[in-house]
């Protein structure tokens, strides 16, 4: 099991803002940002799933094992892989931030 590390940070805000915003609200804003990124990359991945009628791993296997090199598929594979990695990374950050609200 991976050990979880938390890092305390200090944010300097104008006093009139600092007086009206709570730590919970700041964390909620960060959670919303993460969720927005998760949804963005998920949508990008879904477009490729619809285009090719399969999930990423199936498409990757198909492209890598194909005897004929189709450059547009390789281009899509690279893009899709980037979207998959970004989706997983933002989803991880989202889940980690959700734990801060418990």
Question: pTM higher than 0.75 for the full model?
Answer: yes
**Tokens read off for 54:** 């399969």
Domain residue ranges of the chain, discontinuous segments joined by +: 22-99
In angstroms, the CA 17 to CA 88 distance is 33
List the pLDDT tens digit at each of the 102 positions of the chain: 456 677 888 989 999 998 999 888 999 999 999 999 999 999 999 999 999 999 999 999 999 999 999 999 999 999 999 999 999 999 999 999 988 876
CA-nearest of 32, 28, 29 to 90 is: 32
């Amino acid at each position: 099991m991976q050990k979880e590390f938390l890092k305390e940070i200090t944010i300097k805000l104008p006093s009139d803002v600092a007086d009206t915003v709570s730590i919970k609200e700041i964390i909620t804003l960060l959670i919303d940002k993460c969720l927005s990124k998760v949804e963005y990359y998920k949508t990008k991945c879904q477009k490729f799933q619809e285009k090719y009628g399969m999930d990423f791993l199936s498409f990757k296997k198909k492209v890598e094992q194909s005897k004929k090199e189709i450059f547009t598929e390789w281009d899509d594979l690279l893009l899709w892989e980037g979207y998959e990695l970004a989706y997983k990374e933002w989803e991880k950050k989202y889940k980690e931030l959700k734990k801060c609200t418990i």
